Amino acid sequence: MATNFNQERHYTSTGDIYAVLRALQTDRSSISIQFDNSGAVFASMVLSVNLKEKNFVLDEFSTGEAHKRAEAGTPFTLRASVNGIKVLAKDLKLARVGKDANGLFYEIDFPEKLLYLQRRDAFRAWVPGTLMVNASCKSENHPKGIKGRIQNMSATGFRLLVDGKIVPEPDMLESFNITTHLPLIDQDLRCDADAVYAQFVQERNHTIVGFRFGTLGRTEQIAINRFVTQLQRERIA
């Protein structure tokens, strides 16, 4: 059984925007550039990201035409994909053209907001509160661990419910080490996962964090698949 739907979120904080752009740089993701009122798409990649200066550097665009439009101050849209998440930033403008031993590069200020679109392509099973599937999620920024209850899980990720507000809030694609116990199959699970969103619900005083599993070993993937399948069976029964 499978469902397909999109989860759309915007980032406006400098730290979150930095984290996304830095992930594009680290992953050496291909960037698509499209100028306003033009159907043409040009290629580039993120060379560096500066959190203090709130700007990033793109490699020289793939054609001279794109270079001319950028120099003329024409706004453009950036599209990319990292770890299965679509990234979109609009109304970007060239701040400065530079040149080094490798050729031209473009310095661009951070966008006011950045959209990411997470495509979920795996069935996500609800985890009953009576099972109390608790998890501890540790990272460099959260060495004591974020502790909460898993609300749902699929073969590709899970959602965690945490009491109160998490400080500091997890960055997008922040890498965590996950520890939990899967009761229906009586198996411990230890694996890596990346945070893909965090939302504090003030009226309920809790935070919802979405995680996407990293590279899983065969044992871990089998355990997750078995647990999700068992959850489906329990629900049907």
Note the pLDDT tens digit of each residue in 90-119.
999 999 998 888 888 999 999 999 887 765
**Domain span at 50:** 5-119
Domain boundary pick from 119, 141, 173: 119
What pLDDT was estimated at residue 197?
A: 83
Same domain, residue pair 133 and 220? yes
Query: What SS3 class is residue 95?
Result: strand
Same domain, residue pair 70 and 148? no
Q: What is the CATH number of the domain that holds 161?
A: 2.40.10.220
Same domain, residue pair 109 and 131? no
Phi then psi for residue 221, to 5 deg, are -65, -40
Rounded Cα distance between 145 and 148, Å, is 10
Same domain, residue pair 86 and 111? yes
Same domain, residue pair 223 and 134? yes
Q: What is the pLDDT of residues 112-142, one digit of tens each?
A: 998 877 655 557 789 998 999 999 999 999 9
Contact between 108 and 56 under an 8 Å Cβ cutoff? The reply is: yes
Higher model confidence: residue 187 or residue 216? 187
| Beta carbons within 10 angstroms of residue 193's beta carbon | 24
Asked whether residue 4 carries a pLDDT value surpassing 70, the answer given is: no
Q: What is the CATH number of the domain that holds 34?
A: 2.30.110.10
Phi then psi for residue 210, to 5 deg, are -100, 135
Q: How many domains does the chain have?
A: 2
